[in-house]
Amino acid sequence: MEQIINLSGVNILQGDKTILKQVNLSVHEAEFVYLIGKTGSGKSSLLKTLYGELQITNGEGIITGYDLKGLKPKEIPFLRRKLGIVFQDFQLLMDRTVIQNLYFVLKATGWTNKTEIHKRAMSVLQLVGIEQKADKMPHTLSGGEQQRVSIARALLNDPKIILADEPTGNLDEETSEEIMQLLVALSKEENTAVLMATHDLQMVKKFPARTLRVENEEILD
């Protein structure tokens, strides 16, 4: 099994403040892993470190072949192409249609052929079950549909791993379940690892998987 994430002995800081210390973490391809812990415990900081927003200064950190310790600013966009990132608040561009949101990301990540761009955008919308909404504006969609669009967007460049930060945080229980089923299916069918930060323990119970707890500045397996 390919190792997608490998952190050993990493301290995570925001400014001078230590958020997490001596983090050891490995995630393999197609593995589904929860990151649980109270709000403010450091879950988001860990994800930010993995997508290159926070730098690591000690220990070893590799994700999808990129060394996080020596990561140069110009490498960050290339790292992020190998990751899918899903946020709690969808972060869609509200002034363009669903499919134009996807075109935007593809163009920004180096795709140039219009036919290929359209084909890829439609294929990820099919994957998440909302291809019929391609020409709708995001504000006309339900919360669950908007989150499906953001998951489709995360899948555009065929990522090795999806980093999901409270992806069900703004959704009701039924919609949350649908989004969870989708993420679990993607990890199995597309061989995509998923690292999901959540404080929704109901979902963890309903969809059991390896669970890491963040508390007292530590990550416990």
How is the chain split into domains, by residue range? 1-82+160-221, 91-158
- Determine the topology of domain 1-82+160-221 in CATH: Rossmann fold (3.40.50)
Of the chain, the percentage scoring pLDDT greater than 90 comes to 76
pLDDT above 90: residue 116: yes
For residue 175, what are the contacts with CB-CB under 8 A and spacing of at least 6?
142, 143, 144, 147, 168
Q: 38-57: per-residue pLDDT in tens? A: 888 899 999 999 999 998 98
* Distances from the Cα of 113 to the Cα of 95, 104, 158, 182, 219, angstroms: 23, 13, 17, 29, 43
pTM of the model: 0.92
Q: Three-state SS for 66?
A: strand
Position 96 confidence tier, pLDDT thresholds 50, 70, 90: very high
Buried b / exposed e over 101-117, threshold 16 CB at 10 Å, is bbbebbeeeebeeeeeb
214 in Cβ contact with 37 (< 8 Å): yes
Sheet architecture: strand order including 66-67:
17-28, 3-14, 60-63, 66-67
